């Protein structure tokens, strides 16, 4: 499965784009839509390069999320990819969110776990509240099974 236009547009909206390198909250040189690989302070990129890197970065995150074998639908894969793109795949792997999904938690329990991840630097951020709301709702949106789920059924 590839990054859908829906997910790409949502990531662009939620991440925001900066065409000049800056240091993120952790001090890491970052550019475009959260791209960090090989970035040096003083770098500048075009809007097209920012979009291309977002597509590459999000595709890699989606590949890692797929390896967890928990997303049964396209919407679940998109929601978890957005989450992992933001907090990191390592944090998703260690999260109670993933544990709750694996244990077959209820819709309310899973959505509650998404919504816990709204703090950065000890402050509740409106942008993270909105992002987690979208992810929590999108996780349960009607959509097609993932390719893995279709193969498992055969």
Task: Label residues 121-145 b or e (16+ Cβ within 10 Å = b).
Answer: eeeeeeebeebbebbbebbeeebee
- Rounded Cα gap, residues 67 and 30, in angstroms: 26
Cβ burial, residue 106 (10 Å; 0-12/13-18/19+): exposed
**Which residues have CB under 8 Å from 153's CB, separation 6+?**
145
Catalytic residue among 13, 15, 25, 74: 15
Cross-strand partners of 35: 31
**Catalytic residue list contains 135:** no
For the annotated catalytic residues, the residue numbers are 15
């Amino acid at each position: 499965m590839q990054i859908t236009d829906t997910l790409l547009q949502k990531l662009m909206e939620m991440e925001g784009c900066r065409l000049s390198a800056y240091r993120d909250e952790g001090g890491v040189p970052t550019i475009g839509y959260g791209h960090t690989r090989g970035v040096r302070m003083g770098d500048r990129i075009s809007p097209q390069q920012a979009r291309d890197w977002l597509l590459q970065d999000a595709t890699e995150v989606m590949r890692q999320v797929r390896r967890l074998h928990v997303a049964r639908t396209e919407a679940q894969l998109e929601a978890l990819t957005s989450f992992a793109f933001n907090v990191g795949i390592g944090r998703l792997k260690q999260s109670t969110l993933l544990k709750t999904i694996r244990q077959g938690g209820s819709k309310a329990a899973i959505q509650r776990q998404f919504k816990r991840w709204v703090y950065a630097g000890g402050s509740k951020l409106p942008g993270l509240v909105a992002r987690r709301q979208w992810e929590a709702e999108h996780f349960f949106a009607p959509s097609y099974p993932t390719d893995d789920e279709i193969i498992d059924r055969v």
